Amino acid sequence: MSNFSIGNLQLSVPIVQGGMGVGISLNGLASAVANEGGVGVISCAGLGLLYRDFSKNYNEASIFGLAEELRKAKEKAKGVIGVNIMVALTNFADMVKTAISSRADVIFAGAGLPLDLPSFLTKDCKTKLVPIVSSTRAALIICEKWIKNYNYVPDAIVLEGPKAGGHLGYKENQIADEKFSLEEILPDLVKNIKVVEEQNNCKIPIIAGGGIYDGEGMKRIIDMGASAVQMGSIFVTTDECDASPAFKEAYIKATEKDVEIIKSPVGMPGRAIFSKFIESVKEGKEKPNGCPYHCIRTCDYNTSPYCIIKALYNAYKGNFSKGYAFAGSNAFKAEKIMSVKETIKNLMDGFRKG
């Protein structure tokens, strides 16, 4: 039994599965991870596309889709189910309200500072609130605002280093700079959060992620003061991952040089596996001809090189001529598809040996 808990949610393994959209971590993957004692996480990014048969209205379909995914995950899982909600989403508020009303165990909120997240909590609500940050400064701003405005302390904090997959909270020149590596920024966050804990007589576990791919890596990060790790890429190549077989195969076929930093229409750098579509974007051949979804606040289709939600949806379906797979820096290490049970067993074996 691990001593990792988020509030009163006790976890038997110190692993949080990263929320991966569009459609990569839904109820299938999240429930499998939860059943092995970790935190299974549903990504709500792009659910309006996945559930467009329910409604042509993107926001209505997103709300229905999240409620459905949580219902299915809760039916399958006896463990902890969380939801990843990007602050940059235009329907952020609706997704938070839906997660709370559908009794998600945890909300993980990143891609922006979720300064008003506690304002959505309802009476008798048991949903835990966990911000995702990429710096001590961001974590302390959130703590200060939540405590001052809502008398609420984060139930945990996720610190994402620059080796993570998907959108990164770093400038492009910081990504390869050792000063910003997870190993450099984690001890500073641990030290500063201890002060917040002492001042508020509480416990705020730190979950560290970004490029962690084996049990030895987990051990190293937990020895540095983290209570748990967040891992995404390693769960893509599992039987239970909700992505298409072609998406999983892209990870298995990838070499180290295929995993690269790209410019995203969201305005942040991202890490992805090179594809024909990325090549086409670099050559200036892609251009959105409208914006039917208005999914991201910071995205303007007039200046954007492509529609990110369509690109990620196409990749989820396995169409890499029209999309790409986000991936962590060590995604190329994937060799085969195995069950979540076997994946977590291997991680914990390595963790105990490390």
Mean pLDDT of all residues belonging to the chain:
93
Pairing of strands 80-86, 106-110: parallel
Any idea which of 14-28, 119-133, 285-299 has the lowest mean pLDDT? 285-299
Q: Are 112 and 72 in contact (CB under 8 A)?
A: no
Span 243-263, average pLDDT: 96
Can you give the pLDDT at residue 80? 98
Q: What percent of the chain has pLDDT over 90?
A: 86
Can you give the pLDDT at residue 289? 65
Angle, vertex CA 302, rays to CA 88 and CA 247, nearest 5: 60
Can you give the pLDDT at residue 294? 65
Can you give the pLDDT at residue 81? 98
Can you give the pLDDT at residue 301? 58
Res 1 pLDDT > 60 = no
Span 180-200, average pLDDT: 97
Helix (H, G, I), strand (E, B) or coil at 307: coil
Res 206 pLDDT > 70 = yes
Can you give the pLDDT at residue 134? 96
Res 215 pLDDT > 60 = yes
Can you give the pLDDT at residue 193? 98
Can you give the pLDDT at residue 7? 95
Extended strands (E) in the chain:
5-6, 9-10, 15-17, 39-43, 80-86, 106-110, 128-133, 157-160, 166-167, 206-209, 228-231, 259-263, 269-273, 325-326
- Cα-Cα-Cα-Cα torsion 22, 26, 217, 8, nearest 10 degrees, comes to 130
May I ask the CATH architecture of the domain 5-243+334-346? Alpha-Beta Barrel (3.20)
Q: What is the pTM of this model?
A: 0.95
* Residue 221, amino acid: I
Res 291 pLDDT > 80 = no
**Longest CA pairwise span in the chain (Å):** 56
Please report which confidence band the pLDDT of residue 290 belongs to, taking 50, 70 and 90 as the band edges: low
Please report which confidence band the pLDDT of residue 305 belongs to, taking 50, 70 and 90 as the band edges: confident
Can you give the pLDDT at residue 354? 73
Q: Are 2 and 13 in contact (CB under 8 A)?
A: yes
Model pLDDT for residues 4-48, shown as the tens digit of each residue: 999 999 999 999 999 999 999 999 999 999 999 999 999 999 999
Domain positions in the chain: 5-243+334-346, 245-326
